[in-house]
Amino acid sequence: MKIDRLLALIMILLEREVVSARELAERLEVSRRTIYRDIDTLTFAGLPIFTHQGAMGGVGLMKAYKMDKLLFTPHDIQTLLTSLKSYKQLFDHNEIVFVLEKLNAIHRGSDTGIKAGRFAVDLSLNQGNESLRNLLSYMETAMNEQRYLVFDYGDRDGKISSRTVEPYQIVFKESSWYLQSYCVDREDFRIFKLARMSSLQVSEDGYVPREFTPLPMDGTGWMSQDWVEVKIRVHRSVIDKVIERFGEAHILHMGEETCLATYPIIKNTFGYDKLLALGDKCEVIEPIEVRKEFQDYVRRILGQYDHQGE
């Protein structure tokens, strides 16, 4: 948006005495012609902007023009910068560039000595998820404009159904993206995995937002299946995966090479795939029925390779 770009331009001019039009264009990701138009706009609005010609020339603000930079604390600014930089990895919106420039200008003006970049969140999409970028953009548009989303959805059994939903929130959890929405077809709030969507469109029809409370995604609400506490023996080289998923409290005993741990799963292919992700570094100990069912599941997988490939 132009207003955001103008504000970002002002913040850059507040930070530096003189800045070349070329540098301004590069930092704001626009053309130099756009920068010159923005300077004219700010001048007409009454801002005391001056320009100098020549190799050492550029654009600047009169020193008498001041702005309070104490609106946010340095810690506030660091938090905002980290969040916005992560968000920009998903959406290449110019307005995010402008906001980042404004925050960077405030941050660099701080005399606290706190450095940026101590924490970084990498949300850049991998090759498999790159195709989801358009879906995220469509969903953002639908939420901002309060319009229905229409798409085909494949469930865990491979059945395809057409859905019309009111989108409310996008959630990133365990390397996957989900949409929390109200499903018109089911007349209830539902969670949809983005990777299972196809033929997604933003409807021309709008909806009146209803009261929305984010649905729990810890297995208690969005999955109807019961969880089973499974005891496993795992090699110490993969114990981090247990801790990252459930916490250190699930480590029962630590040995020299292996350890015992509890690993709650849903007793179906979804849960067994989580155990398979630990590879040959994991053995299911109990319950016995889970151990037997997991063995059968592994045998069915091996059965796919019993015949000669053509």
With tokens 């990895």, the residue in question is 89
Residue 33's pLDDT band, with cuts at 50, 70 and 90, is confident
Residue ranges covered by each domain of the chain: 1-112, 132-206, 227-303
Q: Are 65 and 47 in contact (CB under 8 A)?
A: yes
**pLDDT in the model for residue 25:** 87
d(C-alpha 87, C-alpha 81), whole Å: 10
Q: How far is the C-alpha of 300 from the C-alpha of 281, rounded, in Å?
A: 20
Q: In terms of CATH architecture, what is 1-112?
A: Orthogonal Bundle (1.10)
Render pLDDT for 256-280 as a digit per residue (tens, 0 to 9): 899 999 999 888 888 899 899 999 9
pLDDT of 72 higher than 60: no
**1-112 and 132-206, same CATH topology:** no
Mean pLDDT of 119-148: 75
Q: Tell me which CATH code domain 132-206 carries.
A: 2.30.30
Which residue in the block uniquely carries the two structure tokens 């023996």? 233
Rounded to whole angstroms, how far apart are CA atoms 264 and 282? 14
pLDDT in tens, 210-247: 999 888 876 554 444 578 999 999 999 999 988 888 88
Q: Is the pLDDT of residue 121 over 90?
A: no
